[in-house]
Structure 1
Amino acid sequence: MATREELIEKTRGWFTGRLPEDLFDGAPEVTVDREEITVIGRIPEPAYAEGASEAEKAATIEGRIKEFRERTRDARMAVARDAEHKFGRKVSWGVRCGDQGRLFTHLSVPVMTRLKQPERALLDTLVDGGVARSRSEALAWCVRLVEKHAGDWVGDLRDAMRKVEEVREAGPDRESGDADADADAGA
């Protein structure tokens, strides 16, 4: 069985090889989870009028992103169909242009959780305060806040999880094959 890192590398390699060569500047960023593959590529920054303001530059980039999305839709959909068949996950797309990034599509997947009353009260406070429209949206807001403020810690945790996966894959059961299972079964 492939490790999570091997799955990500295989998926990234497949997309890098399968995408039309001129679609993005360089290899895309590919993120994989249980339900979705997100592909984000860099596109060339447009030329600006001399002396363009920051607002004009932002509008120019926004226009370039919209043009790219419309022009490449058929090609991206063809790749997505192939990938969804191959990997069994939905494909979402996005781009980076200049200092802006935009996701075109992405899944919103329900996640069940059990919360005690003080935790539910916190979510209700966010809803009552107008920060979120529902408990679900408030919980998503909390997750984004943790992601923003605990980035290094979360990165360290993911690195540690990769190391645990490597150790698990190199465990004694992997090298001996199924010899012990065959012996137990009387083979």
Structure 2
Amino acid sequence: MRNEHRGRGFGRPGGWQQADLPDPADVPDWFAGRLPSDWFTGSAVIEIDRDEIVVIGELPIPQPEKPADSEPEADAADKVPNATKEGAIARFRESTRSARMQIANEAQQRYGRSVAWGVSVDGQRYLFTHLAVPVMTRLRQPERKVLDTLVDSGVARSRADALAWTVKLAGKHAEAWLEELRGAMRKVDDLRSEGPKGL
């Protein structure tokens, strides 16, 4: 007998739990064709989840003007003042604002997700406005005690901050495992899409 409730049980119905969202598989290719070629050095890094697409591009390291009689330095990039980098970021952010808004609108229509922007300068990332999505959860006393300890010790201002802090910490220390898990989920989704239809 066919299971009339198929796909409603425990697990990942529709892969990524987002069957109603457009497939984001070609997001990097779309942005590669849509972004102006003179914005970044190299290809932009694209990060995607079910809520948001984050586009991060590498800006060239600004080189301050030097007197003609000064000696060349081997590590000139290391000597660039933070203020110079901040100025380059501000210039990029303001000069590209209208174009970024247009691209973001097009991407949101195509993929059903908000678009956030950021840049990388000299190995440091700077994100512009991006989503902070509330996530509701129920915790038993042992888990609440962990959060309360972080609040009471001053590590976090609230339980919400403490939960965000622990998620960041877990992600940082388990990134290799999480990436392996994401790869396995993609394989499952590929196999599911290749399976027989109409079952």
Place the TM-score, normalised by the shorter chain, in its bin.
Answer: 0.7 to 0.9
- Code of the aligned partner of 2:49: D
C-alpha offsets along residues 39-81 of structure 1, whole Å, 9 cap, x if unaligned? 1111111114566795753332222112111111111111111
Quote the residue 1:88 is aligned against. 112
> How far apart are residue 26 of structure 1 and its match?
2.4
CA distance in 2, matches of 1:99, 1:147: 20
> How far apart are residue 163 of structure 1 and its match?
1.8
Quote the residue 1:185 is aligned against. none
Q: Is the 8 A contact 1:35 1:90 kept in 2?
A: yes
Quote the residue 1:108 is aligned against. 132
Quote the residue 2:153 is aligned against. 129
Give aligned pairs, total.
173
Quote the residue 1:28 is aligned against. 44
1:164 aligns with 2:188: yes
C-alpha offsets along residues 117-155 of structure 1, whole Å, 9 cap, x if unaligned? 010111011111111111111100000001111111111
Partner of residue 10 from structure 1, selected from 20, 26, 34:
26
Q: 1:55 to 1:121 in 2, by over 3 A?
A: farther
- Bigger fraction of residues in helix: 1
Partner of residue 142 from structure 2, selected from 114, 118, 122:
118
CA distance in 1, matches of 2:37, 2:179: 31
Quote the residue 1:41 is aligned against. 57
RMSD: 2.3
CA distance in 2, matches of 1:166, 1:53: 44
Quote the residue 1:184 is aligned against. none
Worse overlay, 58-67 or 45-54: 45-54
> How far apart are residue 100 of structure 1 and its match?
1.4
Structure 2 unaligned spans of 5+:
1-13, 17-21, 67-71
Structure 2 SS opposite 1:107: coil
1:68 aligns with 2:92: yes
Q: 1:53 to 1:89 in 2, by over 3 A?
A: closer
Quote the residue 1:77 is aligned against. 101
Q: Is the 8 A contact 1:8 1:30 kept in 2?
A: no
CA distance in 2, matches of 1:161, 1:38: 21
C-alpha offsets along residues 7-64 of structure 1, whole Å, 9 cap, x if unaligned? 3431111111112221222221111111111111111111145667957533322221
CA distance in 2, matches of 1:56, 1:47: 7
CA distance in 1, matches of 2:185, 2:138: 24
Structure 2 SS opposite 1:9: coil
Quote the residue 2:175 is aligned against. 151
Q: Is the 8 A contact 2:61 2:77 kept in 1?
A: no
